[in-house]
A = this chain, B = another copy of it.
Amino acid sequence: MTALNDGWFTEVFQDQGTAFSLQVKKKLHEEQTPFQKLEIYETETFGNLMVLDGCVMLTTRDNFLYHEMMTHPALFTHRDPKKVVIVGGGDCGTLKEVLKHPGVEEAWQVEIDERVTRMSEKYFPELCEANSDPRANFFFGDGIQWMRDIEPNSVDLIIIDSTDPVGPAEGLFALDFYRDAMLALREGGIIVQQSESPLLHTDSIIKGIHEDMRKAGFEHVQTMPFPQPVYPTGWWSCTMASKENPIKYFREEDANNRPFVTRYYNSGVHHGALAMPQFMVDALEDEVRPEEG
């Protein structure tokens, strides 16, 4: 197997013919949880690194890009999000960003693997700062079953912060799951899902997400690209969909006056993320073109 020498963690994307490596000082932790192999490294330049089944999940240095984009665009698109459910998101970074919004009254993190959260508390404490917020609720178990069992019309925003659509997370990229999410959402509800790399996955994954979300009744679907250096191609996306409201509605004044600090997100970035590259417009041609939005 291909690997850099000692002193590097390398993730090989065999299907993509690429590899990404981070120089590491030492391995801080390794365990086989009931669900996956969990490793934590201290890197030379990216802070701590969490790896699940050999795949880079996050680093201290650049996770802000992902966590801010999985949350703030959707929270400022919904007119008044009070109850938010995160499916996955065991590192708690998404929960932290959600709870920055004062209007949120209740947030649930529904993560299958409690060990991810426990190790994040230890090695990414800055992501877990909001875990003791009285609005924060944790359920460790199967998100697919949880979504089936939840009271209908009870949630404003569902954030699917999962691993890749293989293995345990496969069922989160599926029509049945979107249908259950649709039932769980109140009027005006929004769903947002991490949706892989624009360059690699527009045809193979993102297009299918759009189709399945529409089949489940989400009339408005929008993919938003953003940079994420430690993921394949350094370029990632989330896909946001709404029941009724146009997905380009934006509480821009609230975003400009946000009572919290962000490092990537601002209202210009929000607008920018709504503009898809031309090749994505062409591939997802049932989408409204950005210039017509």
Interface residue tally of chain A, by bracket? 35 or more
- Please tell me if A225 contacts chain B, counting CB pairs below 8 Å: yes
Contacts of A4 in B (CB 8 A): 2-4, 10, 19
- A8 B2 Cβ-Cβ under 8 A: yes
Answer whether A264 and B278 are a contact pair too, CB < 8 Å, given A20-B18, A44-B17. Answer: yes
Stretch at the interface among A79-87, A164-172, A267-275: A267-275
A21 and chain B: residue at smallest CB distance: B19
Would you give the 0/1 interface string for A238-279, flagging 1 where the beta carbon is closer than 8 Å to chain B? 000000000000001000100000111111110111111111
Distance of A100 from chain B, by nearest CB (Å)? 13
Contacts of A276 in B (CB 8 A): 268-269
A15 and chain B: residue at smallest CB distance: B45
* A265 to B274 CA separation, bound complex (whole angstroms): 14
Stretch at the interface among A28-36, A134-142, A229-237: A229-237
A273 and chain B: residue at smallest CB distance: B272
- A271 B275 Cβ-Cβ under 8 A: yes
Would you give the 0/1 interface string for A39-73, flagging 1 where the beta carbon is closer than 8 Å to chain B? 00001111000000000000001100000000000
8 A-B contacts (beta carbon < 8 Å)? A3-B4, A10-B21, A17-B45, A17-B46, A18-B22, A262-B278, A263-B279, A266-B289
